[in-house]
Structure 1
Amino acid sequence: MTGSTTPTRRLDEVELPAAGTWRIDPGHAEVAFVGRHFMLTKVRGRFTGVDGAVEIAENPADSKVSVTIDMASVHSGDQARDDHLRSADFFDVAAHPTATFVSGDVRWGGSRGSMTGELTIKGVTRPVTLAVDYVGYAQDPWDNHRAVFSARGRLNREDWGLTWNMPLARGGLLVSKEIDLELEVELVYAG
């Protein structure tokens, strides 16, 4: 950053990132999900191919987020499960290689807020709301300015046409419909 611009500012006694464009650092971004197997065991997965930007506005409630996720980058720790997730039963990455999130309504107070946006998976667009926390600011050894955010939410995967499942002999389903989202994102100031 040059001139008198600083990477952070104080707003209502809270340090927040300066207004401007902040790019997602794909190497330090995680879009993770948690579902249940047999309706009991937590199964975690994540997407490593994440790209996008945040336009932080002077009024944080006017900020905008745009994210693209490479659906083939899914990793859950099991190759057979990952291949199944990439198949037409779930993400159908051959026909729908990316998912997107574009923010709409942002509500902000202090270092926390909520964001409702349009999540598109397999060509289906539905709203999703995320609780967002501003974790803090750091300057890396190469003089890049970084803002770190964490977010979480819950969705019903069937709302996006992700309906594959198997009934269990004693009742219930093999894979939970409710999926928890967990996001950790480092943003780099771009101007």
Structure 2
Amino acid sequence: MSSASAATRTLGGVELPAAGEWKLDPGHAEVGFVGRHFMMTKVRGRFHGVDSTILVGERPEDSKVTAVIDIASLDTGDKSRDDHLKSADFFDVEKFPKATFTSTSVTWQGTSGSAVGDLTIKDVTRPVTLQIDYLGYARDPWDNDRIVFSAKGKVNREEWGLTWNMVLESGGLMVSKEIELVLEFEAIRQA
């Protein structure tokens, strides 16, 4: 049996990850977001501190995802903006240092699917839907089996109490309410 066949399986004519536990490789993960400044300019940020486990089910729809996000690891490339986002105006990192995501249901068709889950920020829990694409399998030079995913979703930040904003003279808002979630990550098969 080859390494690929041990780490993957074919379901419905499509190669998918083998059932079991897979852990996020933080060195090869992008857990990010995109918002709008002045309702025009895209501002991107990411969280460097993320711990996530994917339990791939025998049936793909039985899979589960959990993640813990270190909010203090937020990085937008601008220290003053990062400090403001970490302040009580937004994430209030001193009081709420972590955010969590726990999937509640998964649907799957071919190499794409969605995960609905509970996202908790500042002790507020709301449902979020992530659209997921399975990009494939690779075996690295250190004999680790890796799977690669891409996911995205949209949230209204105000639903989690992230309500700071300013009305612009032109009538718009300084910071968009809608935030796009963008995830690119590799996960390593656990023994």
What band does the TM-score fall into relative to the shorter chain? over 0.9
Task: Show structure 1 runs of 4+ deviating over 4 A.
Answer: none
Q: Is contact 1:152-1:183 (8 Å) kept?
A: yes
Structure 1 residue 92 and structure 2 residue 87: aligned?
no
Superposed, which structure 2 residues align to 1:1-191 within 5 Å? 6-191=6-191
- d(CA) in 1 for partners of 2:66 and 2:182? 17
Distance 1:190 1:2, change over 3 A: farther
Task: Kindly provide the amino acid, as one letter, of the partner of residue 17 in structure 2.
Answer: P
Query: How far is the alpha carbon of 1:105 from its aligned partner?
Result: 1.2
Indicate the SS of the match to 2:103: strand
Q: CA RMSD in A?
A: 1.7
Amino acid at match of 1:24: L
Partner of 1:58: helix, strand, or coil?
coil
C-alpha deviation, 1:26, in angstroms: 1.1
C-alpha displacement of 1:27: 1.0
- In structure 2, give the amino acid aligned to 1:43: V
- Unpaired runs of at least 5, structure 2: none
- Secondary structure of 1:82's match? helix
Figure out how many residues of one structure are paired with residues of the other and give that number: 191
Query: Is the CA contact (8 Å cut-off) linking 1:30 and 1:50 kept in structure 2?
Result: no
Equivalent residues of 1:37, 1:175 under 8 A apart: yes
- 1:78 alignment partner AA: D
Deviation of residue 2 (structure 1)? Answer: 10
Percent sequence identity over aligned pairs: 64
What's the TM-score, normalizing by structure 2?
0.97
In 2, the alpha carbon distance for the partners of 1:7 and 1:170 equals 55
Give the aligned residue type for 2:24.
Answer: I
